[in-house]
């Protein structure tokens, strides 16, 4: 089940969106401001964000800007909802990093179609990244000291704990935090903590770099702590 974060200070609209999207089969978490939205996002990363533009404390534009400034928020699909329908306002929204901009009032079916399209596009992008990296292995990947390593060489041991190794394998398949949590019986927040530890240990910035690193160096076939990454799913 895909998870959607709805950020809007309009209590009635927020409830309507939550009710409608849950009826369509989505899990919905909500926030009343951009500031609260950032906190919730960091605790339990959603698959897509729907946000109002005009809000107190932190408006939608600043929320989107800060979300796009962190590695985990760079590719998450983002839709703006706004009563402002001027071209300049729409340009600002897209320039800040939004994937779509819907003016109020709007038809729920229109929002649903846009959500479905963005989620499908996001899944295609992740699948294509994994496919290309699995079929690649020719390009070198510098890690910390800018050292090149042939993809056919036996990769060195990584400083991962058994729990991190299991999360590592799930991550390089392009799975979301929620999907990984369901596979490993841990919370999405725990997955995010392991991801942060893995990226810090390897000197990487985001999931895309992690996937590239793993497949170019053949870490999907390496044995750690008595198990291979492919066995981590069993």
- Are 221 and 230 spatial neighbours (Cβ–Cβ below 8 Å)? yes
- Are 65 and 96 spatial neighbours (Cβ–Cβ below 8 Å)? yes
pLDDT in tens, 153-191: 555 667 888 888 888 888 887 778 888 888 888 888 888
pLDDT in tens, 187-219: 888 888 989 888 888 888 888 888 878 777 766
How would residue 129 be classed by pLDDT, with cut points 50, 70 and 90? low
Q: How many residues does the chain have?
A: 234
Domains and CATH numbers, the chain: 3-125 (3.40.50.2300), 149-233 (1.10.10.10)
How would residue 143 be classed by pLDDT, with cut points 50, 70 and 90? very low
What's the rounded Cα separation, in Å, for the pair 195 and 79? Answer: 26
Which SS3 state, helix, strand or coil, does residue 7 take?
strand
Query: Is the model more confident about 137 or about 18?
Result: 18
Query: Is the model more confident about 12 or about 44?
Result: 12
pLDDT in tens, 91-112: 889 888 899 999 988 999 999 9
Residue 96 corresponds to which tokens in the numbers above?
Answer: 């800040």
pLDDT in tens, 13-46: 999 999 999 999 999 999 999 999 999 998 888 9
pLDDT in tens, 57-81: 899 999 999 998 887 788 889 999 9
pLDDT at residue number 164: 86
What's the rounded Cα separation, in Å, for the pair 50 and 159? Answer: 38
Q: Is a pLDDT exceeding 50 seen at residue 146?
A: no
Residues 6+ apart with CB under 8 A from 207: 71, 72, 171, 195
């Amino acid at each position: 089940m895909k998870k959607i974060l709805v950020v809007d200070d309009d209590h009635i609209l927020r409830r309507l969106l939550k009710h409608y999207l849950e009826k369509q089969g989505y899990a919905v978490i909500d926030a009343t401001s951009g500031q609260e939205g950032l906190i919730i996002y960091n605790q339990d990363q959603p698959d897509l964000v729907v946000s109002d533009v005009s809000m107190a404390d932190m408006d939608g534009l600043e929320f989107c800007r800060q979300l796009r400034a962190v590695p985990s928020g760079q590719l998450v699909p983002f839709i703006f909802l706004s009563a402002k329908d001027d071209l300049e306002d729409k340009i600002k929204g897209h320039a800040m990093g939004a994937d779509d901009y819907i003016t109020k009032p709007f038809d729920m079916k229109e929002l649903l179609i846009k959500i479905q399209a963005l989620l499908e596009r996001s899944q295609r992008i992740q699948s294509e990244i994994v496919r290309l990296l699995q079929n690649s292995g020719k390009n070198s990947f510098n890690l910390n000291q800018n050292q090149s390593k042939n993809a056919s060489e036996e990769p060195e041991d990584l400083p991962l704990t058994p729990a991190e190794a299991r999360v590592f394998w799930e991550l390089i398949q392009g799975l979301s935090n929620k999907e990984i949590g369901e596979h490993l019986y841990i919370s999405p927040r725990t997955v995010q903590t392991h991801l942060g530890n893995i990226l810090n240990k390897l000197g990487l910035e985001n999931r895309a770099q992690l996937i590239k690193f793993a497949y170019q160096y053949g870490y999907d076939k390496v044995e750690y702590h008595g198990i291979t990454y492919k066995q981590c799913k069993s």
